[in-house]
Structure 1
């Protein structure tokens, strides 16, 4: 099952930089405006490594964003901008936040450690989404250049009794690092280097199976890189009663944040679909065609938030479709949907997003799986108001407001070895990059 290891993390030196000036959101959540803002905050902001700006004379071979990332990473270590922990440690990691769109306050608790990389066939690590080749190629180039992991893979494990949190948090004192991000989330980190605590933690995690919440592309990149560097003869790691576990070789593990999927602090937000640039899209014809599979009801003119609230209250599978003619509630007709989804596994037929992708996007709008993968006519937005505004501004043909996937649905799909449509889950908040760094050498 899951193998967890402490590590000697590289961390930003608080006497050299302010943490709020140098940490970032995950690389794939950094917009161009955020990227520019991070650049302006500090010459040592991690964005210069994980998502550097291209320059005029960059080339595949020679100077480019990856070579500059490697150069900066080395320089920052040489200059003690980044310093390495003396002892192998794990790091308790807490995030306090307000659930977007509500006044509800929550805290999500987990811990950062190394986790052994497994093939999905081993049935230790499970995915819930497909991956694309382009992001994996980009991350592999960065990994090869820097020989380091700068963000954590977000992993879920099941622990209804909360035993792992009790080990790490019951006697936790003041955090040794904390920062509030641009979304108002308070991130706090505690270093845990007591060997007895680490051994208890690794033992407790030893029977767990893991689901990737965020970081599928980085996980698969790290797994490929690990296989490239595996020694011809598997390395033997000697242990005694007093030693701490360690990976067989540096590339055999990757930095992860582990969060209990049974905790109340876990929040999944919906990701709305915005369809644009369709040739000859006719909203009236679309609404008529949808009636074959859905009960279609015109909604009163209201703000997007009201549509989202209305959607939450609907039993069964439903969406709100917003076109230039207004907002419509689409409620699935079970018999018609069953025929349309006959090729899908039963657990996927119960997903709202399977109905949306297979019936609406593919059958009604002509966006097949390849077009969805390439996002030629599709955008994904967390903000319902912005998604609706894009239709009203004429920048999109139709927006589909959706309900979030539940944790029970995700667990069932992942452990069955199946996958959901892309962008099915939006875990909030994201894990900050730069809190800890795992250097392979």
Structure 2
């Protein structure tokens, strides 16, 4: 039986291979609550506000592993490794008795999402099994690799999507059957999402999933840096080894479509007035004396007509659109597909950051990438910098470019809901 949509089908031997593992999970009797020990993914946390909030929620919050705090990188990674060792020794974290895959459900008033967590066999980009769609920053890969080496663990799953045929067969059937039983855990986090987890250990169910997923390729929705880190660590260890696999959550977006949001930019050392002055001859700039929701509506309307951005940080909003065609022709590389050249992120990085404002995109001292819209504006106003708010890209654009092997500028999209960190970890045998 063919479980794959025709556009996504790949030869069975070159498709996804998801492997059971003994999940490392919090003992609910040893922590205040499961919600209090979870965290958003490491790169979604807004420092330092979100970090301090999570650390104070529970002494065993997962943020102490994924974002350890100390004076040097080496000390931070050693602290994470020691903390993980202590929590396992004390029984705060315990491995499940047998290997399995895990059905993971997230639900709020407007969305139900179910996927499956497992250890995915890593493949090179040239294999076309896992498709990245964004560029990555070397310093972040180095940071994540050092943490994973120190802890010998995958501390949080990255998010991958694939396209089934929408029917309840194969992996979808196993997921739905599992969700009818009693979950291993159930909790609701402060963002209003409820989370449930079930283990799949039956050999027939595992075989059904393996056969089905072996016909699919996946798109990296969230976790490009962690995927690149997995590949780096695999290259450092002779195969076969536990490093041949990485922890992922796979979601069939034919059944459970994700939300796609933008990732915004905070320009630390560029006041809004200077940013606007530099744009005067190249873009149309309109001042908006309206609340944030109305400003975002104006951004959406402008983005439907062409490239548009919303600047903030001086107590108001400024809609920037209609770039000079001559300027775009001079600054945007011409050796990519039209869909890539017209992306807002492409114009932002190639034209605004590199050409007009002269800001290096890979320097944390100059630029931060923030998921939360209001937090980006607040930080810009507090710090005297400029928030550049983006309009999200459609998922089909992302997938089409990825299939062509074309990567988007770094931090172009934010797919969600993202898996909560702390519900299941993967310890690598030493």
Q: TM-score category by the smaller chain? A: 0.7 to 0.9
Aligned: 1:110 with 2:121:
no
User: Is residue 108 of structure 2 the alignment partner of residue 97 of structure 1?
Assistant: yes
Q: Which whole-Å CA distance do the structure 2 matches of 1:34 and 1:365 have between them?
A: 29
Distance in 2 between residues matched to 1:59 and 1:365, nearest whole Å? 31
* TM-score calculated relative to the size of structure 1: 0.83
2:206 to 198, 201, 214: 198
Aligned to 1:129: 134
Query: Is the 2:272–2:311 contact (alpha carbons within 8 Å) kept by the matching residues of 1?
Result: no
How far off its partner does 1:15 sit? 2.6
What SS class does the counterpart of residue 67 from structure 1 fall into? helix
Check conservation: 1:9, 1:85, Cα contact below 8 A. Answer: yes
**Which residue is 1:210 aligned to?**
218
* More divergent stretch after superposition (418-427 vs 69-78): 69-78
Across the aligned residues of Structure 1 and Structure 2, the Cα RMSD in angstroms comes to: 2.7
Q: Secondary structure at the match of 1:431?
A: coil
**Deviation per residue, 1:328-385 (Å, 9 max, x gap):** 3413466764554352411311312212222222222223xxx111144333344444
| 1:245 aligned residue | none
- 2:194 maps to 186
Instruction: Give the one of 27, 31, 51 matched to 1:35.
Output: 51
**Which residue, out of 395, 410, 434, partners 2:384?**
395
Give, in angstroms, the shift of residue 281 of structure 1.
5.6
Alpha-carbon distance, 1:197 to partner: 0.8
* TM-aligned CA distance change 1:360 to 1:309, over 3 Å: same
SS in 1 for 2:196: strand
Deviation of the 1:425 alpha carbon:
0.9
CA separation of 1:8 and 1:307: change in aligned 2, threshold 3 A = same
Q: Which residue of 2 aligns with 1:239?
A: none
Counterpart position of 2:319: 328
Note the residue ranges of structure 1 that are not aligned, 5 or more in a row: 99-104, 232-247
3-state SS in 2 of match to 1:204: helix
Q: 9, 19, 30: which is aligned to 2:34?
A: 19
The CA distance in 1 between the partners of 2:143 and 2:327, in whole Å, is 42
Using the alignment, how far apart are the partners of 1:175 and 1:42 within structure 2? 23
User: What displacement does 1:311 show?
Assistant: 2.4
> Could you report, residue by residue, the CA deviation over 1:74-94 in whole angstroms, capped at 9, with x for unpaired residues?
232233222222222111111
Match of 2:144 in 1: 139
Larger radius of gyration: 1
1:150-194 CA-to-partner distances (Å, cap 9, x unmatched) read 111211112132443232114522322122223222111111111
Task: State the match for 2:93 in structure 1.
Answer: 82
More moved, 170-179 vs 408-417: 170-179
Q: In structure 2, how many angstroms separate the alpha carbons of the residues matched to 1:320 and 1:59?
A: 35
In the TM superposition, what is the alpha-carbon distance from 1:39 to its structure 2 partner? 3.0
CA contact (8 A) 1:290 1:364 kept: no
